C-alpha cells in the first residue's frame, strides 16, 4: 500500500533516498559503469529517465540515489544509509521483494516510509516510468528547484 504523500512531505529530503532500477536506462546508448554500489550514472543524456530522476533527487537534496541491478543491492543500500524515507521505482515483483526486504532488515521501532512508483513497462531492459508522476513524487513537499 502506497503511503500518503503528505507523510513524505514531513520528512526532510536529507533523510530520503531514491532507488531506481538499472533497467530504466537506455541500454543501447548508456555509458554508465557498474560497481558495488550499482549503476553509476554518467549524466550523459538529459532525456534518460535515470539521469532525470537522479538529478531531480540530488537537486532537491536527497541523501543519496541508488541505481540497482536488483533488489538485494537496493536493500543493502537502504540498510547502509538508514533513511527515514525511501522513494522507489521498480516493477511489481522487485517492489514487493524490496519492500519486504526493507521491512525485515530494520530492527528499529521506526521503519522507513516507503513510497513506490511502479514501472509502466517492465521486462528487465529499456523499461519505462511515468516520468512526470515520478518527478512529482520525488519533489513532494520540497521547495521548487532553482533553474540550473
**Within a domain: residue 108?**
yes
Range of the domain at 16: 5-138
CB 102 within 8 A of CB 86: yes
Report the sign of the C-alpha dihedral through residues 64, 67, 71, 76, in that order: negative
The total number of structural domains in the chain stands at: 1
Here the CATH number for the domain that contains residue 124 is: 3.40.50
Per-residue pLDDT of the chain (148 residues; tens, 9 = 90+): 455 788 999 999 999 999 999 988 888 889 999 888 888 999 988 989 999 999 999 999 999 999 998 778 888 898 899 999 999 998 777 777 776 676 666 555 468 888 989 888 877 787 889 999 999 999 998 876 544 4
74: in domain: yes
> Does residue 148 belong to any structural domain of this protein?
no
CA-to-CA distance for 125 and 22, rounded, in angstroms?
A: 8
Amino acid at each position: 500500500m502506497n503511503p500518503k504523500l503528505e507523510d513524505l512531505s514531513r520528512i526532510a529530503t536529507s533523510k530520503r533516498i531514491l532507488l531506481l532500477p538499472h533497467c530504466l536506462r537506455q541500454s543501447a546508448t548508456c555509458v554508465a559503469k557498474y560497481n558495488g554500489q550499482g549503476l553509476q550514472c554518467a549524466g550523459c543524456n538529459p532525456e534518460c529517465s535515470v539521469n532525470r530522476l537522479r538529478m531531480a533527487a540530488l537537486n532537491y537534496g536527497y541523501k543519496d540515489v541508488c541505481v540497482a541491478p536488483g533488489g538485494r543491492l537496493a536493500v543493502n543500500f537502504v540498510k547502509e544509509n538508514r533513511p527515514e524515507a525511501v522513494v522507489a521505482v521498480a516493477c511489481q515483483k522487485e517492489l514487493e521483494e524490496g519492500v519486504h526486504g526493507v521491512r525485515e532488515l530494520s530492527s528499529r521501532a521506526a521503519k522507513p516510509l516507503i513510497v513506490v512508483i511502479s514501472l509502466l513497462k517492465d521486462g528487465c531492459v529499456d523499461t519505462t516510468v511515468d516520468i512526470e508522476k515520478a518527478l512529482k513524487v520525488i519533489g513532494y513537499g520540497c521547495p521548487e528547484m532553482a533553474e540550473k
